[in-house]
Amino acid sequence: MKEHRVVVTGLGIISAIGNDVPTFWNNLKNGVCGIETITEFDTSMLPVHIAAKIKDFDPLQYGMDKAFVRKQALFTQYGVAAAYQAMQDAGLKSEGEDANIDPFRLGVYVGSGIGGFEIQYKETQKMIEDPSGQWISPLFIPSMISNIAAGHIAIKNNAKGPCINVVTACATSSHNLGEAYRAIRFGYADAIISGGCEYASIPLGIAGFANAKALSRSEDPKYASLPFNLNRGGFVMGDGGAMLVLETLEHAQERGAKIYGEIVGYGNTCDAYHSTAPRPDGTTQAQAMKLALQEAGYSKDDVLYINAHGTGTHLNDASETQAYKLALGEDAYKAHITSIKSMTGHMLGAAGAAEAIATVLSLKEGIVTPTINLDTPDPECDLNYTPNKAEKVACTLGISDSLGFGGHNACVAIRPWPCGVN
């Protein structure tokens, strides 16, 4: 079976720090925090009052009409909007006189960690009030299920190739990217829209994660998400959608597409340890990184960029640091590492794809974005986490790792374009 090189030709983002890629990237470079006090509903009785919410989102700007918007959960709208941007950016079309890809060779690998959470919440309230179920919406199921975002992205882009919704909690979109990379590499598609989308910062989501002792209870939204900081107290909920268009190098070059970077490796392991806590010795997380680095052809001469999972929970940041040391040895101290969750919050099922976009752009522009609020580094987290200010570094290889509840570990490796490793 012929193997294909896989490149990134399109990017799209809906996030708390920008609803388009240029705004998102500019805010990342400048350390802008998108976390704010929640105002859309009353949080007075909740233990947490902050989140990284989406601002000024107009779905009609992204190929959706009012009828579609009325029927769809926000996670789907965020996903469709990010996919619309990515496909426009890539210049891919599968129908019409200017079509440049066979629809049966265009796929969608998009996931959501939770799906239509607010729909579940609303319809459950109806059922409690009237157990007959007569007021439950006929759209309840098809707007709530987590695969529906992938389905609608396929419908809107006439993508008739493979369509998959991988769900692995916080590692969801990294696994979707990795599996999309493999599908293209081994010839099952010419291009795939891949990523994730999430809207979970609703009262039920906040209460659930807070009672699981996962969320920061800071009252200061700008000093709440504190990856690798000794003062960290949990992650901050974040919403949004993030999509990348992956494509074979041959197909991209034949149509003269711009290329952002090349996907060159993927690792996938499981902690097999605990439902929510990461394996504390970092061995299984490190193995996912080793697999991606090995496939990428990592050498001691590489200048390595790492976009960390970096949630700001006590357990994650310590075990993740240990994993980097196990995967890289002494080279871990030379790596340039950052956690964009300090600015975007934790986008759950969309986090990995948002971080992959940041990785692609960091490699392309030679800029390592900062981990903001890193004023008191944890002695256990003693690597270079790029505190507070962006750095200009010409990195030759990047990895983005994601670690999800259930012990799901994913790591995607990316090289800048043009890539010097064949």
Domain stops at, among 188, 219, 254:
254
Gap between the Cα atoms of 393 and 408, Å rounded: 30
Place of tokens 């009409």: 65
Regarding whether 293 and 234 lie in a shared domain, the answer is: no
User: Does residue 420 have a pLDDT over 70?
Assistant: no
- Nearest in space to 372 (alpha carbons), one of 225, 220, 212, 232: 225
Residue 1 within a domain: no
Query: Residue 243's beta-bridge partner residues?
Result: 12, 195
User: If you ran DSSP here, which 8-state letter would residue 104 be given?
Assistant: G
* Contact indicator for 312, 226 with CB cutoff of 8 Å: yes
pLDDT for 181 = 98
Amino acid sitting at position 285: Q
Residue 126 three-state SS: helix
Q: Is the pLDDT at 7 greater than 60, yes or no?
A: yes
Q: One of 346, 381, 395, 411 is an active-site residue; which one?
A: 346
Is 289 in contact with 324 (CB distance < 8 Å)? Answer: yes
User: DSSP letters along 222-264, please?
Assistant: GGS--TTBTT---B-BB-EEEEEEEEEHHHHHHTT----EEEE
DSSP string over 304-360: EEEE------HHHHHHHHHHHHHHHGGGGGT-EEE-THHHH-B-GGGHHHHHHHHHH
Helices 351-365/172-185 angle, 10° precision: 60
244 and 370 together in one domain: no
Q: Which two tokens stand for residue 250?
A: 């041959």
The catalytic position among 33, 163, 170, 411 is 170
Q: Are residues 242 and 175 in the same domain?
A: yes
Q: What is the mean pLDDT of the chain?
A: 97
Q: Is 309 a catalytic residue?
A: yes
For residue 346 the two structure tokens come to 């934790």
pLDDT higher than threshold 60 for residue 5: yes
Give the C-alpha separation, 223 to 263, whole Å.
34
Position 2 scores a pLDDT of 87
Statement to judge: residues 301 and 245 lie in one domain: no
Residues 109 and 242 in one domain: yes
Residue 1 has what pLDDT? 73
Q: Are residues 143 and 229 in the same domain?
A: yes
Number of Cβ atoms within 10 Å of the Cβ of 275: 10
* Tens-place pLDDT, residues 165-211: 999 999 999 999 999 999 999 999 999 999 999 999 999 999 999 99
For the residues 298-314, what does the mean pLDDT come to?
Answer: 96
pLDDT tens-digit readout, 354-370 = 999 999 999 999 999 99
- Of 4, 152, 175, 309, the catalytic one is 309
The string of pLDDT tens digits covering residues 57-107 is 999 999 999 999 999 999 999 999 999 999 999 999 999 999 999 999 999
Give the mean model confidence (pLDDT) for residues 212-237.
97
Model pTM above 0.75 = yes
Q: Band of the pLDDT at 312, cuts 50, 70, 90? A: very high
211 found inside a domain? yes
Does residue 206 share a domain with residue 91? yes
CATH of the domain at 103: 3.40.47.10
d(CA 30, CA 37): 21
DSSP 8-state secondary structure symbol assigned to residue 278: P
Residues linked to residue 304 through DSSP beta bridges, in sequence order: 397
- Do both 226 and 284 map to the same domain? no
Residue 320 lies in a domain: yes
Domain containing residue 157: 6-254
Taking each helix axis from N to C end, the angle separating 21-29 and 351-365, rounded to the nearest 10 degrees, works out to 70
Mean pLDDT across the stretch 373-378? 96
Q: Which pLDDT score is estimated for 421? A: 47
Q: Where are the alpha helices (DSSP H) in 158-211?
A: 172-185, 203-211
CA distance 339 to 329: 20
Average pLDDT estimate for 263-291: 96
